[in-house]
């Protein structure tokens, strides 16, 4: 890392340390170890830490998790806040995650705070694998780096946080060992062992994946995350300079390479509130290049009319 980059990282860490911290705590082993680690690190005082719990309502007894976290907050002398939803059985993992992040992001804006989540090395490997299975291309390796209006920190994946407790970003097994050593109580979510979810099925297949390979992917992830953010910055600059009245020239997408055209489409559709998958963007690019004027293309929640020379998102 360059000297300038190190100064920027230092300044970034100082800013985070001056802000309130929202710990996303489900009551499971991951978030309970995170709470213990952050509390022991003494980076933050008690009045700077908020325990946030999202009661999804997928399981009938999910309120017991909320009660458990609230008691833990009281024991630590920490502020506690929760949101209760009634998502119901059968709710997809994606829908539950979206609802949880909406709660956390809104809370962070209200509190002018940074969000901490307990994603560990195994979560990173699983998320990258799921992304590739879903056709997210090179961006799949930059997993757990979504675009939000607030700062999100993954302390188990950031050396400045985990290095005092672990010699490498911890796996799930490492968290169990830490929990036993420090006598940490936690609640088990029975859905974590259900074959209904792709992540759980994939987790079983990756159970014997060598640690050395995981750490290699971790190093690639760190580099890819930096690259992704740089590309997003440049693409957004291009869009802000080039687009007027949300009119997109069809000629651009004929002249540009597939990779660049897809990056522009991805950024443009997201800025317009449309979240398309990589295969959908491929189909959209093909339509832009080949459809006759007046034909329509159906994006998620958006019907796009292709004029002779342009289209509007």
Domain residue spans of the chain: 3-224, 243-312
pLDDT at 127 over 60: yes
Identical topology for domains 3-224 and 243-312: no
Q: Mean pLDDT over residues 100-104, rounded?
A: 94
CATH class of 243-312: alpha beta
Give me the CATH topology for the region 3-224. Rossmann fold (3.40.50)
pLDDT-derived band at 142, boundaries 50, 70, 90: confident
Q: How are beta strands 310-312 and 247-249 bridged, if at all?
A: antiparallel
The region of weakest confidence among 33-42, 197-206, 287-296, 300-309 is 197-206
Residues 200/192, Cβ–Cβ less than 8 Å: yes
Q: Mind listing the pLDDT tens digit for each residue in 248-268?
A: 889 989 988 998 899 889 888
Instruction: Output the pLDDT for position 244.
Output: 62
Instruction: Output the pLDDT for position 10.
Output: 45
pLDDT at 103 over 70: yes
Q: Cα separations (Å) of 268 from 206, 288, 290?
A: 35, 14, 20
Mapped onto helix, strand or coil, the DSSP state of residue 135 is: coil
Q: Which two tokens stand for residue 294?
A: 């007046």
pLDDT at 232 over 90: no
Q: Mind listing the pLDDT tens digit for each residue in 17-51?
A: 668 999 999 999 999 999 999 999 999 999 999 99
């Amino acid at each position: 890392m360059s000297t300038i980059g190190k100064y920027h990282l230092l300044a970034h860490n100082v800013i985070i340390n001056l802000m309130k911290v929202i710990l996303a705590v489900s009551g499971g082993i991951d978030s309970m170890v995170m709470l213990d680690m952050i509390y022991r690190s003494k980076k933050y005082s008690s009045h700077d830490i908020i325990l946030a719990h999202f009661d999804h309502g997928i399981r009938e007894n999910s309120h017991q998790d909320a009660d458990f976290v609230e008691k833990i907050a009281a024991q630590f002398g920490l502020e506690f806040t929760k949101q209760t939803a009634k998502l119901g059985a059968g709710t997809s993992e994606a829908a539950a995650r979206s609802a949880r992040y909406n709660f956390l992001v809104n809370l962070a804006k209200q509190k002018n705070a940074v969000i901490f989540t307990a994603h560990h090395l195994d979560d990173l490997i699983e998320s990258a694998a799921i992304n590739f299975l879903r056709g997210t291309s090179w961006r799949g390796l930059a997993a757990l780096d979504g675009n939000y209006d607030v700062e999100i920190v993954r302390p188990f994946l950031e050396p400045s946080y985990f290095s005092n407790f672990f010699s490498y970003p911890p796996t799930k097994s490492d968290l169990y060992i830490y929990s036993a050593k420090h006598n940490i109580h936690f609640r088990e979510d029975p859905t974590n062992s259900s074959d209904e979810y792709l992540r759980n099925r994939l987790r079983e297949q990756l159970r014997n994946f060598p640690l050395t390979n995981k750490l290699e992917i971790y190093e690639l992830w760190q580099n890819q995350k930096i690259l992704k953010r740089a590309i997003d910055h440049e693409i957004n600059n291009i869009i802000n300079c080039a687009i007027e009245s949300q009119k997109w020239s069809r000629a651009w997408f004929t002249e540009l390479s597939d990779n660049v055209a897809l990056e522009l489409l991805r950024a443009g559709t997201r800025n317009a509130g449309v979240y398309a998958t990589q295969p959908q963007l491929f189909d959209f690019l093909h339509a832009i290049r080949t459809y006759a004027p007046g034909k329509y293309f159906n994006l998620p929640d958006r019907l796009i009319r292709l004029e002779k020379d342009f289209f509007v998102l």
